[in-house]
Structure 1
């Protein structure tokens, strides 16, 4: 899984999705959320998320059918950025995926993303389903202002061949050949796999 940032995202989005501190926020301190998210922006984020997830799932299914789970690992790494770029171009969003346990270190969560992921887990423990779980907020850091949307990704059957607790040896070998620092196995069906993360720069107040 690889992040993809568009030129429309500007330096703000690049810093946010890369987990770098910006503005006055400390590296270990999540920027404060403020204000309500406009309904139109929220609906746009949801629509783009659905388009991205649907296309990515289709490519993964095709990859597994063409060459098995080991082949799908390469498909995920190569195709996901292209899909994200295509979807991003529709609205100037920076689109990526992140998790508490990542396969590609470049997808490691920012301070804010980690906080949202942990909140997702707490909400799930309280009885909320990951299927429709999301977070949206207007974030302000110094003179920067942006919308940050995240949607939980539950672990599905399709994920288990490469992310479960019983990964086939040949798949494990393919994973470590491409991602030697992999930490994204051992998941069970229904657990939080990670989240889609969307950032859109806004005009400062």
Structure 2
């Protein structure tokens, strides 16, 4: 077996001198990851709505949304969750701190005030949480999250027996994207 001492020395020194992300870089990373998630998930759902209708979008979402979220998290070297108080999938249920933030944002929406583009919370010296609000800003969203009736309502209930994610109107806060970003 051949040894490569210079290569080992180079890799070791590179790993030891790699600079951790600045707060600005962490914000950029969160912004880019959340934008990519919304773009990919939104694009896929739009495509499903156009080709297979609301039932196709529901099927796609139930089968692929979590996997797509995990894929983008892996690509961006983060941890990503889509969270809501009125979650459709129990996996997306907000915790106590997230509920407090979502309630704060919901008050802003109900009072006609603008939402922040994001919120950062320092978890430790090496980790931040990046939160981005998700607002119902497209009529297509209301097909599955508005006042849903008939066969689609039955399919949603069958797929998600504990669904709480209907009854929304344009401009309502739907939830948020929560991204854990490590400095190193």
TM over 0.5: same fold?
Answer: yes
Q: Matched residues in 2 for 1:43 and 1:201: separation?
A: 13
**Match for residue 28 of structure 2 among 43, 49, 52:** 43
Structure 1 length as normaliser, TM-score? Answer: 0.72
RMSD: 1.9
Q: Which residue in the other structure is 1:159 paired with? A: 141
Alpha-carbon separation, structure 2, partners of 1:126 and 1:168: 29
- Secondary structure of 2:167's counterpart equals coil
1:150 alignment partner, SS class: strand
Structure 1 position 111 matched with structure 2 position 96 = yes
Q: How does 1:1-205 map to 2 (within 5 A)?
A: 38-130=23-115, 133-140=117-124, 146-155=127-136, 156-165=138-147, 167-202=148-183
C-alpha distance after superposition, 1:113-165 (max 9, x if no partner): 111111212333454334x532111114xxx9621111111113111011102
- TM superposition shift of 1:92: 2.1
Kept in 1, the 8 Å contact 2:30–2:181? The answer is: no
Flag structure 1 segments of 5+ consecutive residues without an equivalent: 1-36
Structure with max Cα Rg: 2
Q: How many residues align?
A: 162
Contact 1:134 1:149 in 2 (8 A): yes
User: What secondary structure is seen at the aligned counterpart in 2 of 1:193?
Assistant: strand
